[in-house]
């Protein structure tokens, strides 16, 4: 006789929008997480790099004999030992080990692998290098003048083969007859017409400075060849699959024999999107020494040898009609490309989107050139050029409004786009919370009232002035179709106990992707967060993803994970429908059970159903895969096209206090509204916004990488000031849920957004407080003081 | 230079014998020695001597009309000490703007003095408080003591009048009399963890809106921390009205001769000296 | 050849000895000689706090401390802090850091935890401003500090409520 089982009903519940704790937080808190610095392989050696003592010089000779002879040294390599070395980087102008010339302070000349770090460091000191100095080119404005010293005039390899000299061959093999690294030219509409229609035109030159990522974990890599010659790298790259392919290229290896494992990362922010010399060098050391080699940066090296944010000299000419309609933008920018080309040179791709499409602009013209100099090179950094572009655009929005006597908020609202609009660059705004962002911020910060009150106090007695400034931003929120694929793959398996293994190509760089992806899968399968294990860090196991950049992971990897989960759900419900002899549409998954969709009545717990699927004659496991490619398009040759599957907006109002007797600007409060499509993990997204805003605060107020004649003057935390806890502003954050149709549960990307418009809003706030507008960053005390007291020179630059 | 000997003496006598033998790098909290040696700015001598366990260097006590502070007193201990808070609040205040909690817990007053930074945060209040330092040495078995005003101790950035065989044992500060007050200002964007762009110390006997027996010290505007005699003379005995204050601020600006460096330009430092001296004196006048 | 020196100290409640290079930092000793990698190298110059440990009950930057100076002292690292069954504070801090979302990349977190523990020891009634000052020597690049401060404020309130 059966004991009657009481009928259970499972209540509806959702994980979406909840505060979900980060899955790896406990082990990180307890110090148990093993970052790359904490990993040691048996038999490993320590690698160290000898960097240039000069900024620009011919290398006459390198003598490594004393270093090679030092006990404990297993390998010393220079360019001479690597005749088949290939150039790396976007323009292939960069050999990892330099043999002909050094072109910047961080240039790598030799590398050592030794038993200990101390011996490796000692060995470096024994390497003798003779240089012949060359003139230093450190001002990008001089790079295109006649007679300017050329940074890459000749092939970098003596005796480069004839076939390598053919047209289109890498710069490292051909040399260049000028200092132009890259050019971009964009236009939509007709700016001459736009200017003719304008009642007001303003033109200014803005200067955006060098800052750097300062990830708390310094760069490092471990390289090991196994007995069959396969290469294993422990790497913090944000683009493991691209890396695999590029390494195969540089090493002339079959990509199938390269495996990358990604240990937890001590911060990324875009710093790990390119291939860097130290990585290739470490692999060569491992090859030469026939032992695993671990190479870690010191903090000083991290400053010297990491890519920076792209510095930009920007001249913007904008106009509007007296009724407040924007008419045109004409932009010219000069990018200091540094000695070698990395992703910084491609920031115009992103800057273009802001120039052409942040607010409705009928006519837009943008020209830029990146020039070689002997300065450090720029890479990709959270925001990727958008901070620089927004700094200029949003100051002109204030200036245009003032010129026509319109309230700056009203002016912005009038020109803000709405859902359904397509911009001149072809970006289609399917979900758009722009106006909601503006309205929310204006209301919550009391922008209009405060702005007027502060303005009235500008000339009043008292050294401390308050100001409020507003700025908005537009950024891709649904991936960015710049590679042949912008997709991500997921493999999902459920075991006999309904524990899910989520294998995703998307890496985790501290932003919590593993948690949000698990959240999306659990939502689909009606399981608790504890039911998921994530595997995301081994190219031998995980499916392809283009990488963590462009704020794409939640959107793309999220849709990929949902796709795999949906397939699993279909399979599960099909089996359950058969078992309970009903339609699949009568069933659902909730709380770890298969339930009746209408009533919530629990029919069978998921583990039992899965086991019943498995342990039968027609045994089946629930394992699914899904590759999500977003429905965006590649831009055409004119850079036009709907490059992302969704776009995101934010508005921020920054309130400052300016001490006019010291120039110290204190950021008192930031009121922000972010169009995120939909809040998935409320805890995680708040963390991204708060962290991004403070990064923006650093860009605006405290961080300044000082380069003089190619030499970095402050490669340390003592003199490169990151924001510390007592300096953070009060933060009021609102989320606008525009529910994007393509986004996972309606969500859009947000990783870069919060950092993007802080500096612009701060500039507007300082103007509101003091009546003085600052056209260059950063707003450090002396620079602000000089501007307030008429001691700052106003830049004016036009391209030649 | 590789270190050949390491010792951690447990008495002043032991330490002085070691110093007498010569070629010694002294280690106290390590907060300057460690980063400087790693950066190649400091070459270790043949012997590394850890002075952290010498009892004669420890303690804060009132002795007669003076407060005696042992060289091993950490910045935290200084800041938290009841006697310092009561009698020398300006010193406790300066300590509160020093580096970070972690560094304050390890850095010693003696180390900070001997490091002789031109921007030393504790040095400014010590100067305006008329601090004297005590040095000890041993020659031919005989213990020698030497005391000199802190104002005479610094000869250049990182350089002092301490002889190689001498150990800084402590600091003596006269207990301020009635009506005596002192103020400290450090310019920077952070409450602490900043090398000051400029710093200012002012002390005087405040009576009916007039400061007398004035001391003024500036940091980060010269190769060492310095007293400002012209500024002191301009303040001495004058009524603190807006005219006097404006004049004193102007003289302060003219008196200092800072340099340009990675942190600030000479021009800006002079502006800050002017503006902040004025602000401090306005504050004193309002009190 | 660098001079080596033997030291005897208490690490996470357990007496032990170590032989260290005389010019070695306490941080390098903990990571490379003892093998406890929870304490991190962030800058090596005392500016970031990632290397914070407790020595005789006070928080210090282990990158600035000489390993030989650990002799005769009591050192506690993050591993010891969280393993101490007697410490309800460590558990409370851990739960608060998790619950408030105070961890992203996590690299600064061990240093923050140790500093937070010491801060609450010394200032049990610290308010938000006091807590921000208390962690001014710990740099975080990911979180913007807000949730870290919230977590520590939370524990401070809990302890006050429990009449500590």
Nearest neighbour of B190 by CB, restricted to A726, A785, A789: A726
Would you say A31 and C77 are in contact if contact means Cβ atoms under 8 Å apart?
Answer: yes
Number of domains in chain A: 4
Using the beta-carbon criterion (under 8 Å), do C147 and A724 form an inter-chain contact?
A: no
Nearest to A198 by CA among A328, A315, A316, A317: A328
Q: Which of B212, B188, B208 is closest to B200 using CA atoms?
A: B188
The backbone torsions φ and ψ at residue A394, rounded to the nearest 5 degrees and listed phi first, read -75, -20
Kindly determine whether residue C49 and residue B100, on different chains, have CB atoms separated by under 8 Å. Answer: yes
Q: Give the pair of three-digit tokens for residue A14.
A: 């959702």
The domain boundary, picked from A570, A597, A628, lies at A628
- Statement to judge: residues A433 and A471 lie in one domain: yes
pLDDT at A149: 96
Number of domains chain C is built from: 2
A3-12, A773-782, C55-64, C118-127: segment of lowest average pLDDT: A3-12
d(CA A326, CA B23): 74
What is the structure's pLDDT at B141? Answer: 86
SS3 A365: strand
Regarding whether C113 and C72 lie in a shared domain, the answer is: no
Residue A124 lies in a domain: yes
Among C17, C51, C77, where does a domain finish? C77
Q: Do A267 and C144 touch (CB under 8 A)?
A: no
Instruction: Kindly state the greatest CA–CA separation across chain B.
Output: 62
- Chain B neighbors of A717, CB-CB under 8 A: none
Tell me, yes or no, whether A680 and A719 share the same domain: yes
Contact A661 B279 (CB under 8 A): yes
Same domain, C29 and C91: no
What span, in angstroms and rounded, lies between the C-alpha atoms of A485 and A245?
14
Say whether both A155 and A243 belong to one domain. no
pLDDT at residue A167, rounded to an integer:
65
Tokens of B148: 């000199």
Of B113, B105, B7, B274, the C-alpha closest to A785 is B274
Joined tokens for residue A689 = 């916004």
* pLDDT at site A165: 57
Quick check: B268 and A785 in contact, CB under 8 A?
Answer: yes
Cβ separation B102–C136 shorter than 8 A: no
Inter-chain contact A714–B193, Cβ cutoff 8 Å? no
Q: Is A701 part of any domain? A: yes
What are the start-end ranges of the E strands in A69-189?
A: 73-78, 101-102, 108-114, 128-133, 180-188
Residues of A in contact with B279 (CB under 8 A): 463, 661
C-chain CB neighbours of A266 within 8 Å are 40, 105-107
The range of the structural domain enclosing residue C107 comes to: 85-161
Domain boundary among A628, A657, A678: A628
* Pairwise CB contact (< 8 Å): A19 & C101: yes
In a shared domain, residues C69 and C114: no
Contact between A521 and A500 (Cβ < 8 Å): yes
What's the Cα-to-Cα distance from A255 to each of A242, A247, A539, rounded to whole Å? 10, 8, 11
Residue A114: phi and psi, rounded to 5, are -140, 170
- Residues from chain A that touch C137, judged by Cβ atoms under 8 A, are 724
The verdict on C98 and C156 lying in the same domain is yes
Give yes or no: residues C58 and C90 share one domain.
no
CA distance B230 to B223: 18
Length of chain B: 287
Residue A511 within a domain: yes
Q: Do C133 and B31 touch (CB under 8 A)?
A: no
Q: Are residues C28 and C91 in the same domain?
A: no
For an interface test with C, the pick among B6, B102, B103, B189 (most C C-beta atoms closer than 10 Å) comes out as B102
Evaluate whether residue A797 is within a structural domain: no
**Helix, strand, or coil here: A650?**
strand
Query: Could B262 and A719 be called an inter-chain contact, meaning their C-beta atoms sit closer than 8 Å?
Result: yes
pLDDT confidence bin for C58, thresholds 50/70/90 = very high
Radius of gyration (Cα) for chain C, nearest Å?
16
CB-CB neighbors (< 8 A) of C23 in chain A: none
Q: Cβ contacts of residue C104 below 8 Å, gap of 6+? A: A22, A510, A511, A512, A687, A691, C142, C143
Characterize the bridge pairing of strands A500-504 and A532-535. Answer: parallel
- Residue A245 included in any domain: yes
Residue A595's SS3 state is strand
Q: What is the CATH number of the domain that holds C131?
A: 1.10.150.120
Q: What is the Cα–Cα distance from A731 to A589, expressed in whole angstroms?
A: 39
Question: What does the pLDDT read at residue A172?
Answer: 87
The per-residue pLDDT for A84 is: 82
Chains touching chain A, criterion 3+ CB pairs below 8 Å: B, C
Considering A255, A290, A305, which residue would you say is the last residue of a domain? Answer: A305
pLDDT at B102: 98
Ranges of beta strands (E only) in A209-257 are: 220-225, 231-235
Do C91 and C147 reside in the same domain of the chain?
yes
Low-confidence ranges of chain B (pLDDT < 50): none
Sign of the torsion angle spanned by Cα atoms B17, B20, B22, B26: positive
CA distance B170 to chain A (A): 29
**CB pair distance less than 8 Å for A661 and B275:** yes
- Return residues 38-67 of C near B (CB < 8 Å): 44-47, 49, 52, 55, 58-61, 63-66
Query: Is the CB of residue A720 less than 8 Å from the CB of residue A306?
Result: no
Q: Across the interface, which of C23, C59, C115 has its CB nearest the CB of B3? A: C23
A351 and A463 both lie in a single domain: yes
**Is the CB of residue B72 less than 8 Å away from at least one CB of chain C?**
no
Question: Helices in A408-466 by DSSP H: which ranges?
Answer: 408-415, 434-445, 447-457
Regarding whether A420 and A405 lie in a shared domain, the answer is: yes
- List, in order, residues 6 or more apart from A603 with CB less than 8 Å away: A576, A580, A587, A593, A594, A595, A596
Examine the domain organization and report whether C98 and C155 are in the same domain: yes
Is B35 in Cβ contact with C44 (below 8 Å)?
yes
Q: Are strands C52-55 and A664-675 parallel, antiparallel or unpaired?
A: unpaired
Nearest CA-CA distance, residue A298 and chain C, Å: 7
Residue of C nearest to A688 (CA): C143
Pairs of CB atoms within 8 A across A/B: 42
Residues 6+ apart with CB under 8 A from C102: A25, C96, C109, C112, C143, C147, C148, C150, C151
Cβ contact, residue pair A662, B187, below 8 Å: yes
For C131, the closest chain B residue by CA position comes to B101
Contact A339, A377 (CB under 8 A): yes
A785 part of contact set with chain B, CB < 8 Å: yes
Chain A with chain C: Cβ pairs closer than 8 A: 170
| pLDDT tier, C164 (very low <50, low <70, confident <90, very high otherwise) | very low
A760 & A676 share domain: yes
Q: Are C117 and C86 in contact (CB under 8 A)?
A: no
- Per-residue confidence band for C87, with pLDDT thresholds at 50, 70 and 90: confident
Residue at which a domain ends, from C58, C77, C96:
C77
CB contact under 8 A, B2 and C3: yes
pLDDT score for C163: 61
State whether A373 and A428 are in the same domain: yes
Cross-strand pairs, C20: C5
What's the confidence (pLDDT) of residue A673?
Answer: 98
CB of B95 within 8 A of CB of B173? no
**What number of CA atoms fall less than 13 Å from residue A157's CA on the CB side?**
26
Domain B55-174, architecture per CATH: 2-Layer Sandwich (3.30)
Q: Identify whether A49 is part of a domain.
A: yes
- Whole-model pTM: value is 0.97
Token pair belonging to A94: 């960069």
**Residue C58 belongs to a domain with what CATH number?**
3.10.20.30
Closest residue of A to B275, CA-based?
A661
CA distance C138 to chain A (A): 7
Nearest-angstrom CA–CA distance, A444 and A92? 50
Same domain, A227 and A243: yes
CB distance C94–A29 less than 8 Å?
A: yes
Distance of alpha carbon A563 from alpha carbon A749, whole angstroms: 18
| Beta strand extents in C27-137 (DSSP E only) | 52-55, 58-61, 74-76
Chain C residues within 8 A of B30 when measuring between CB atoms:
64-66, 69
Q: Between residues 719 and 758 of chain A, which touch chain B (CB distance below 8 Å)?
A: 719, 721, 724, 726-727
- The string of DSSP codes covering B106-168 is T-BHHHHHHHT-TT-TTHHHHHHTT-EEEEEEEETTEEEEEEEEGGGTEEETTEES--TT-EE
| Contact between chains at B101 and C44 (C-beta distance less than 8 A) | no
Residues in chain A: 800
Q: Which domain holds residue A123?
A: 45-174
Residue C49 with chain B: CB contacts under 8 Å = 100, 102
* Whether A596 and A655 share a structural domain: no
Looking at the fold, whether C135 and C155 belong to one and the same domain comes out as yes
**Chains contacting C (3 or more CB pairs within 8 Å):** A, B
Q: What pLDDT, on the 0 to 100 scale, is given for residue A747? A: 97
Among candidates B116, B158, B156, B157, which has minimal Cα distance to B133? B116
Q: Is residue A180 part of a domain?
A: no
**Residues of chain C with C-beta less than 8 angstroms from the C-beta of B25:** none
Question: Do β-strands A363-372 and A326-338 pair in parallel, antiparallel, or remain unpaired?
Answer: parallel
Chosen CATH of B180-286 out of 2.20.25.240, 3.40.50.720, 3.30.230.10, 3.30.390.50: 3.30.390.50
Spatial separation of the C-alpha atoms in residues A101 and C88, rounded to whole Å: 60
Asked whether the beta carbons of B276 and B201 are under 8 A apart, the reply is: no
Nearest by Cα to B162 from B19, B38, B261, B49: B19
Same domain, A278 and A130: no
Q: Do C97 and A25 count as a contact with CB atoms less than 8 A apart?
A: yes
Whether A393 contacts A354, CB under 8 Å: yes
CA angle A317/A323/A328 to nearest 5° reads 25
Angle at B114 between CA B112 and CA B117, to 5 degrees: 65
In a domain, A38, yes or no: no
Kindly report whether the peptide bond that precedes residue A564 is cis, defined as omega within 30 degrees of 0: no
Parts of chain A with a pLDDT under 70: 1-5, 157-167
């Amino acid at each position: 006789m059966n004991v009657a089982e009481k009928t259970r009903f499972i209540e509806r519940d959702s994980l979406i929008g909840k505060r979900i704790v980060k899955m790896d937080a406990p082990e990180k808190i307890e110090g148990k997480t093993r970052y790359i610095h904490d990993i040691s392989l048996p038999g490993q050696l320590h690698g160290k790099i000898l960097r240039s003592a000069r900024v620009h010089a011919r290398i006459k000779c390198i003598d490594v004999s004393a270093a090679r002879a030092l006990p404990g040294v297993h390998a010393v390599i220079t360019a001479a030992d690597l005749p088949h070395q290939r150039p790396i980087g976007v323009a292939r102008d960069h050999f990892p080990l330099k043999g002909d010339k050094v072109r910047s302070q961080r240039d790598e000349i030799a590398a050592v692998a030794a038993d200990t770090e101390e011996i490796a460091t000692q060995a470096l000191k024994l390497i003798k290098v003779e240089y012949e100095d060359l003139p230093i080119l450190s001002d990008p404005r001089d790079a295109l003048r006649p007679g300017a010293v050329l940074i890459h005039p000749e092939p970098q390899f003596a005796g480069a083969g004839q076939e390598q000299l053919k047209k289109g061959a890498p710069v490292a093999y051909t040399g260049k007859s000028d200092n132009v690294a890259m050019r971009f030219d964009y236009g939509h509409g007709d700016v001459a017409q736009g200017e003719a229609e304008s009642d007001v035109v303003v033109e200014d030159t803005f200067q955006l400075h060098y800052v750097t990522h300062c990830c708390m974990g310094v760069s490092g890599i471990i390289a090991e060849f196994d007995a069959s010659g396969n290469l294993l790298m422990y790497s913090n790259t944000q683009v493991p699959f691209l890396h695999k392919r590029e390494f195969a290229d540089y090493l002339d290896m079959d990509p199938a024999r390269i495996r990358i494992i990604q240990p937890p990362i001590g911060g990324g922010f875009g710093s790990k999107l390119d291939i860097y010399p130290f990585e290739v060098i470490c692999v060569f050391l491992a090859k030469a020494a026939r032992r695993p080699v671990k190479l870690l940066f010191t903090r000083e090296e991290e400053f010297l040898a990491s890519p920076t944010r792209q510095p930009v000299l920007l001249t913007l000419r904008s106009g509007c009609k007296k009724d407040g309609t924007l008419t045109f933008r004409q932009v010219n920018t000069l990018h200091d490309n540094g000695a070698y080309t990395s992703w910084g040179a491609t920031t115009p791709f992103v800057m273009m989107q802001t120039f052409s499409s942040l607010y409705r602009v009928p006519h837009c013209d943008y020209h830029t050139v990146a020039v070689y100099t002997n300065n450090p090179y720029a890479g990709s950094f959270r925001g990727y050029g958008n901070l620089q572009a927004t700094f200029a655009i949003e100051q002109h929005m204030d200036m245009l409004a003032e010129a026509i006597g319109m309230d700056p908020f009203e002016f912005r609202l009038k020109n803000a786009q709405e859902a359904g609009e397509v911009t001149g660059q072809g970006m289609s705004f399917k979900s758009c919370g722009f106006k909601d962002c503006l309205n929310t911020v204006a209301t919550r910060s009391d922008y209009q009232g405060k702005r007027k009150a502060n303005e009235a106090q500008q000339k009043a007695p008292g050294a401390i002035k308050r100001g409020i400034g507003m700025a908005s931003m537009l950024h891709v929120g649904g991936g960015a179709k710049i590679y042949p694929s912008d997709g991500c793959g997921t493999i999902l398996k459920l075991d006999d106990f309904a524990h899910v293994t989520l294998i995703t190509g998307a890496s985790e760089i501290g932003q919590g992707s593993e948690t949000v992806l698990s959240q999306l899968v659990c939502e689909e399968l009606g399981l608790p967060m504890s039911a998921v294990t994530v595997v995301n860090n081994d190219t031998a196991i995980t499916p392809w993803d283009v990488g963590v950049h462009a704020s794409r992971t939640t959107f793309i990897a999220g849709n990929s994970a949902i796709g795999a989960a949906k397939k699993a759900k279909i399979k599960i419900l099909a089996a359950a429908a058969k078992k309970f002899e009903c339609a699949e549409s009568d069933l659902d998954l909730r709380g770890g059970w298969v339930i009746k969709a209408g009533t919530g009545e629990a029919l069978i717990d998921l583990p039992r159903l899965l086991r019943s699927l498995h342990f039968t004659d027609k045994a089946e496991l629930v394992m699914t895969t899904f590759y999500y490619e977003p429905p965006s398009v590649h831009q055409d040759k004119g850079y036009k096209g709907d490059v992302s599957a969704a776009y995101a907006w934010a508005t921020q109002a920054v309130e400052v206090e300016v001490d006019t007797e010291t120039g110290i600007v204190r950021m008192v409060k930031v009121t922000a509204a972010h169009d995120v499509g939909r809040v998935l993990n409320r805890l995680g997204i708040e963390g991204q916004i708060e962290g991004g805003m403070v990064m923006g605060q650093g860009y605006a107020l405290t961080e300044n990488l000082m380069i003089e004649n190619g030499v970095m003057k402050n490669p340390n935390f003592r003199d490169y000031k990151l924001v510390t806890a007592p300096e953070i502003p009060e933060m009021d954050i609102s989320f606008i849920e525009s529910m994007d149709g393509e986004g996972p549960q309606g969500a859009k990307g947000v990783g870069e957004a919060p950092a993007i418009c802080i500096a612009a809003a701060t500039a507007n706030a300082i103007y509101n407080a003091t009546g003085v507008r600052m056209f260059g960053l950063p707003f450090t005390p002396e620079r602000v003081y000089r501007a307030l007291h008429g001691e700052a020179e106003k830049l004016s630059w036009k391209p030649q | 230079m590789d270190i050949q000997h390491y010792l951690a003496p447990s008495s002043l006598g032991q330490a002085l014998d070691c110093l007498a033998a010569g070629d010694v790098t002294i280690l106290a909290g390590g907060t300057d020695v460690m980063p400087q040696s790693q950066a190649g700015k400091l070459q270790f001598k043949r012997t590394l001597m850890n002075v952290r366990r010498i009892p004669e260097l420890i303690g804060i006590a009132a002795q007669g009309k003076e407060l005696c502070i042992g060289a091993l007193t950490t910045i935290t201990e200084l800041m938290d000490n009841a006697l310092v808070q009561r009698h020398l609040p300006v010193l406790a205040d300066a300590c509160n703007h020093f580096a970070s909690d972690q560094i304050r817990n390890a850095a010693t007053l003696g180390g900070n003095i001997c490091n002789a930074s031109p921007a030393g945060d504790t040095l400014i209040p010590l100067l305006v408080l008329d601090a004297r330092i005590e040095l000890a040495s041993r020659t031919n078995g005989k213990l020698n003591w030497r005391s000199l005003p802190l104002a005479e101790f610094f000869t250049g950035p990182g350089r002092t009048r301490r002889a190689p065989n001498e150990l800084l044992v402590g600091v003596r500060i006269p207990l301020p009399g009635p009506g005596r007050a002192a103020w400290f200002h450090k310019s920077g964007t952070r409450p602490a963890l900043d090398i000051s762009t400029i710093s200012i110390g002012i002390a005087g006997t405040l009576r009916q809106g007039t400061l007398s027996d004035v001391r003024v010290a500036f940091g980060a505007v010269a190769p060492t921390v310095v007293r400002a005699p012209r500024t002191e003379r301009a303040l001495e005995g004058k009524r603190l009205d807006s005219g006097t204050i404006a004049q004193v601020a102007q003289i302060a600006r003219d008196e200092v001769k800072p340099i340009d460096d990675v942190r600030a330009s000479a021009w800006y430092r002079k502006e800050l000296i002017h503006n902040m001296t004025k602000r401090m004196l306005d504050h004193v006048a309002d009190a | 050849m660098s001079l080596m020196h033997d030291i005897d100290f208490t690490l996470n409640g357990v007496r032990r000895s170590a032989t260290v290079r005389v010019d070695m930092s306490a941080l390098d000793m903990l990571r490379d000689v003892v093998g406890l990698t929870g304490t991190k190298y962030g800058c090596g110059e005392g500016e970031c706090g990632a290397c914070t440990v407790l020595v005789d009950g006070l928080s210090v930057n282990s990158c600035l401390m000489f390993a030989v100076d650990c002799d005769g002292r009591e050192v506690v690292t993050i591993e010891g802090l969280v393993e101490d069954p007697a410490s309800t504070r460590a558990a409370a801090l851990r739960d608060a850091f998790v619950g408030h979302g105070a961890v992203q990349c996590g690299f600064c977190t061990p240093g923050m935890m140790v500093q937070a523990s010491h801060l609450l020891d010394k200032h049990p009634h610290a308010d938000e401003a006091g807590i921000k000052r208390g962690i001014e020597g710990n740099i975080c690049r990911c979180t913007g500090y807000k949730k870290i401060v919230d977590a520590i404020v939370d524990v401070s309130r809990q302890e006050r409520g429990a009449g500590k």
